[in-house]
Structure 1
Amino acid sequence: MSHQSAKKKLMSLAIGSACAVMAGAACAQQQEADASAIATKDQVAEVKVTATRHSTSLLKTPVAVTAVTQEALSRDGITDVRGLSGQIPNLQLGTSNDGSGGVQIAIRGVSSSDFTEIGNPAVGLHVAGLYQPRPQAALALMFDLDQVEVLRGPQGTLFGRNSTGGSINIIPAKPEFGSSYGTVEADVGNYRGRQISAVQNIPVSDNFAMRVTAMKIKRDGYINQQQDFYAANFPALGIVPSRDSAGNIIPDIDQRFNKKVGADKYYTNKDEYAARLQARWKIRPDLDWRLTYEKYQNNGAGDLPIKDCEQAAGTPYACTGGQWDVKVNVPGVMDMSIDTVRSGLVWDLNPSTTIEYNASWSSQKRREIQDSDSGYQPIESELATRPGTSPFNDFATYTTASKYVSTVHELQLRGKYDRLRYVAGLFWMHEKNSIDYAQDYLGASWGTYGFPAESYFYHQADRQSDSKAIFAQADWEFAPTWNLTVGGRMTRDTRKDVGGQYWDTAFSDDPAIYFKGLHNPGTPGTPGFVPFNSSDLKPGMGGYYGAGGFDSSIHPVISDDSASWKKFTWRLGLSRQLTPRDLVYTSLSTGYKAGGFSDKEDICRTGLNGNCAGLTPGPHYTNMPWNPETLTNFELGYKGRLLNNKLTFSATAFYSRYKDMQLTGGVTVGKIIPKIPCTATNPYCDSVVIYGTQNAAQANISGLEIEGEYKPWPGSHIGYSYSHLKAVIKSYPTYSEDSSISCNIRDKYGAPPCVAYEGTDPLFAGKFPLNIAGNRLPYAPANTLNLSASQDFAIGEYTLTPWISARWQDKMYFSLRNLDNPHISDAQKAYTTVDAALKLVSPSGKWHLEAYVKNWGQTLAKNYASVVDPGYVTASYNDPRVYGIRLGATW
Structure 2
Amino acid sequence: MLRIAKHRVAPAGIESKAYWKRGLHGSAAMMAFMFAGLSAPAMAQDTPPPPQDVAQSDEDDGDVIIVTARRREEALIDVPVAVTAFSQDQLRDLQAQDLSGIQGAVPNLNLVQGRGSATSANIFIRGVGQPDALQTFDPAVGVYVDGVFLSRIQGALLTLSDVERVEVLRGPQGTLYGKNTIGGAVNIVSRKPDLDEFQASGDVTYGSFDQFTVNGYVSAPIAEDSVALSIAGLYDTRDGIITNPLTGEDFNDRDNLTFRSILRVQPSDSIELSLSGDYTRQRNALNLGAPTAPIIQTDLALGPQVLVEPDQFGPFDFESATSFTNGEGQELDHWGLALNANFQLSDNLELVSITSYRDLNTEFFIDIDATQAEIGDVFVGTDQRQWSQELQLRYSSDNLNGVFGLYYLNERVTSDQEAFADDLFAFGGAPISFTRLINDEQETDSYAAFGQLTYDLSDYWSITAGLRYTYEERQYNRFTTTQSDLAPFNGLDFSFPGDLPPPLNEDDSQSFDAFTPSLTISYTPAPDRLIYASASRGFKSGGFNGRANSLADLTLFVDGNPELVTTFEPETVWTYEIGGKASFLDGDVVVSAAAFYSDYQDFQARVGGGIDGGAGVGVFPVLNAGELEIYGFELEATVKPLEGLTLMSSLGYLEAQYNEFNDGRRVPPQSFSCNPTGEEIICEPAFAPPINARIAGDYTFSLGSADISIGGEARYVGEHFLSVDNREGLREDGYALLNAYVQASFDDGRYFIRGGARNLTDTLYRTDGQEFSSVGNIQTVYFGDPRTFTITLGFNY
Whether the TM-score (by the shorter chain) exceeds 0.5 is yes
- Contact 1:729/1:772 (8 A) holds in 2: no
**C-alpha displacement at 1:558, in angstroms?**
4.7
**C-alpha displacement at 1:121, in angstroms?**
0.6
Q: Report the RMSD for the aligned CA atoms in angstroms.
A: 3.3
Equivalent residue number for residue 604 of structure 2:
662
- Contact 1:175/1:209 (8 A) holds in 2: yes
Equivalent residue number for residue 296 of structure 1:
280
Letter paired with 2:132: D
* Offset from partner CA, 1:558-577 (integer Å, 9 cap, x none): 54610100000010010011
> 2: CA distance between counterparts of 1:26 and 1:729?
46
SS at match of 1:720: strand
Determine if the alignment matches structure 1 residue 585 to structure 2 residue 491.
no
Relative to structure 1, is the Cα distance of residues 738 and 665 closer, same or farther in structure 2, using a 3 angstrom cutoff? Answer: farther
Equivalent residue number for residue 809 of structure 1:
717
Equivalent residue number for residue 475 of structure 2:
496
Relative to structure 1, is the Cα distance of residues 34 and 693 closer, same or farther in structure 2, using a 3 angstrom cutoff? Answer: farther
Equivalent residue number for residue 213 of structure 1:
232
**C-alpha displacement at 1:641, in angstroms?**
0.7
SS at match of 2:135: coil
Report the identity percentage. 23
Equivalent residue number for residue 417 of structure 1:
397
> 1: CA distance between counterparts of 2:574 and 2:369?
40
Equivalent residue number for residue 528 of structure 1:
none
> 1: CA distance between counterparts of 2:244 and 2:411?
38
What are the ranges of 5 or more consecutive residues in structure 2 without an aligned counterpart?
6-46, 295-307, 499-507
* Offset from partner CA, 1:251-310 (integer Å, 9 cap, x none): xxxxxxxxx85xxxx321000011111101112110110100101111112421214599
> 2: CA distance between counterparts of 1:38 and 1:490?
41
Relative to structure 1, is the Cα distance of residues 872 and 319 closer, same or farther in structure 2, using a 3 angstrom cutoff? Answer: farther
Determine if the alignment matches structure 1 residue 827 to structure 2 residue 724.
no
SS at match of 2:175: coil
Equivalent residue number for residue 790 of structure 1:
698
> 2: CA distance between counterparts of 1:169 and 1:613?
41
**C-alpha displacement at 1:71, in angstroms?**
1.0
SS at match of 1:136: coil
- Contact 2:608/2:771 (8 A) holds in 1: no
Equivalent residue number for residue 32 of structure 2:
none
Equivalent residue number for residue 487 of structure 2:
510
> 2: CA distance between counterparts of 1:337 and 1:783?
37
2:378 aligned to which of 373, 377, 397: 397
Relative to structure 1, is the Cα distance of residues 354 and 867 closer, same or farther in structure 2, using a 3 angstrom cutoff? Answer: closer
Determine if the alignment matches structure 1 residue 557 to structure 2 residue 463.
no
- Contact 1:576/1:583 (8 A) holds in 2: yes
> 2: CA distance between counterparts of 1:371 and 1:738?
31
TM-score by length of 1: 0.76
**C-alpha displacement at 1:448, in angstroms?**
6.8
The correspondence of residues 380-529 of structure 1 with structure 2, limited to 5 A, is 393-399=374-380, 401-444=381-424, 449-452=429-432, 454-460=434-440, 462-498=441-477, 500-505=478-483, 510=487, 513=490
Equivalent residue number for residue 342 of structure 2:
346
Equivalent residue number for residue 55 of structure 2:
33
- Contact 1:602/1:622 (8 A) holds in 2: no
SS at match of 1:786: strand
SS at match of 1:158: coil
Structure showing the higher strand proportion among its residues: 2
- Contact 1:558/1:600 (8 A) holds in 2: no
Determine if the alignment matches structure 1 residue 874 to structure 2 residue 770.
no
Relative to structure 1, is the Cα distance of residues 172 and 189 closer, same or farther in structure 2, using a 3 angstrom cutoff? Answer: same
Relative to structure 1, is the Cα distance of residues 738 and 129 closer, same or farther in structure 2, using a 3 angstrom cutoff? Answer: farther
**C-alpha displacement at 1:66, in angstroms?**
0.5
> 2: CA distance between counterparts of 1:594 and 1:570?
16
- Contact 2:425/2:432 (8 A) holds in 1: no
Relative to structure 1, is the Cα distance of residues 801 and 360 closer, same or farther in structure 2, using a 3 angstrom cutoff? Answer: same
Relative to structure 1, is the Cα distance of residues 181 and 557 closer, same or farther in structure 2, using a 3 angstrom cutoff? Answer: same
What are the ranges of 5 or more consecutive residues in structure 1 without an aligned counterpart?
6-24, 229-259, 377-391, 514-552, 615-619, 669-677, 740-753, 758-763
**C-alpha displacement at 1:143, in angstroms?**
2.1
Determine if the alignment matches structure 1 residue 569 to structure 2 residue 516.
yes
Determine if the alignment matches structure 1 residue 275 to structure 2 residue 259.
yes
> 2: CA distance between counterparts of 1:66 and 1:164?
18
SS at match of 1:71: helix
Equivalent residue number for residue 92 of structure 1:
110
Work out which of the two has the higher radius of gyration on C-alpha atoms and give 1 or 2: 1
**C-alpha displacement at 1:95, in angstroms?**
3.0
**C-alpha displacement at 1:719, in angstroms?**
1.2
**C-alpha displacement at 1:136, in angstroms?**
1.1
Letter paired with 2:235: K
Equivalent residue number for residue 241 of structure 1:
none
SS at match of 1:889: strand
SS at match of 2:421: strand
Letter paired with 1:597: F
Equivalent residue number for residue 851 of structure 1:
755
SS at match of 1:135: coil
2:321 aligned to which of 327, 345, 349: 327
Equivalent residue number for residue 543 of structure 2:
596
Letter paired with 2:523: R
> 2: CA distance between counterparts of 1:809 and 1:467?
36
The correspondence of residues 59-70 of structure 1 with structure 2, limited to 5 A, is 59-70=77-88
> 1: CA distance between counterparts of 2:557 and 2:465?
53
Equivalent residue number for residue 361 of structure 1:
357
SS at match of 1:171: strand
Letter paired with 1:278: I
Bigger mean CA offset, 45-54 vs 342-351: 45-54
Equivalent residue number for residue 765 of structure 2:
861
Relative to structure 1, is the Cα distance of residues 393 and 333 closer, same or farther in structure 2, using a 3 angstrom cutoff? Answer: closer
Letter paired with 1:638: G
* Offset from partner CA, 1:725-774 (integer Å, 9 cap, x none): 001111114264799xxxxxxxxxxxxxx9569xxxxxx9x995575647
**C-alpha displacement at 1:370, in angstroms?**
2.2
> 2: CA distance between counterparts of 1:489 and 1:638?
26
- Contact 1:196/1:216 (8 A) holds in 2: yes
Equivalent residue number for residue 647 of structure 2:
718
* Offset from partner CA, 1:115-173 (integer Å, 9 cap, x none): 12111111111111121111113123222222111000111322363511111111111
SS at match of 2:154: helix
> 2: CA distance between counterparts of 1:886 and 1:738?
59
Task: Give the number of the structure with larger relative contact order, counting CA–CA contacts within 8 Å between residues 6 or more apart.
Answer: 2
